[in-house]
């Protein structure tokens, strides 16, 4: 299955692009499995995608399509073939 991932902020710089196409095994995958695939391809992105306890870092927002995922259950969210995942990160500047 394929998941289209869009990223912003520092993660975009680390990955080198604002968009990534991931191919995962099976017909569905959780957000956690998708993030694992992303960090397998871009190991330097792990510190932006997971906190010390393995959860989503504070401040990151995940959207599956147009649905904002609740941080408490986001990692268990099932994604399907063709879904778009957007990872929004806080940025600073002025």
Which pLDDT score, from 0 to 100, does residue 18 have?
95
Domain total of the chain: 1
Question: Do the domain assignments include residue 57?
Answer: yes
Average pLDDT of every residue of the chain: 91
Query: What is the CATH classification number for the domain harbouring 9?
Result: 3.10.20.30
pLDDT tens string 50-90: 999 888 888 889 999 999 988 777 899 999 999 999 999 87
Domain that holds residue 54: 2-88
Which pLDDT score, from 0 to 100, does residue 94 have?
56
Which pLDDT score, from 0 to 100, does residue 72 have?
76
pLDDT at 23 over 70: yes
Question: Do the domain assignments include residue 17?
Answer: yes
d(CA 79, CA 37) in angstroms, rounded, equals 13
Using DSSP's 3-state secondary structure scheme, residue 88 falls into strand
Question: Do the domain assignments include residue 93?
Answer: no
Using alpha carbons only, how large is the chain's radius of gyration in Å? 12
Question: Do the domain assignments include residue 94?
Answer: no
């Amino acid at each position: 299955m394929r998941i289209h991932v869009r990223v912003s902020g520092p993660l975009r710089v680390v990955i080198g692009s604002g968009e990534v196409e991931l191919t995962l095994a099976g017909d569905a995958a959780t957000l956690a499995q998708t993030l694992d695939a992303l960090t397998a391809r871009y190991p330097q992105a792990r510190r932006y995608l997971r906190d010390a306890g393995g959860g989503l870092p504070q401040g990151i927002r995940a959207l599956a399509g147009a649905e904002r995922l609740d941080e408490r259950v986001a990692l268990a969210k099932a994604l399907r073939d063709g879904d778009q995942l957007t990872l929004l990160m806080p940025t600073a500047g002025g």
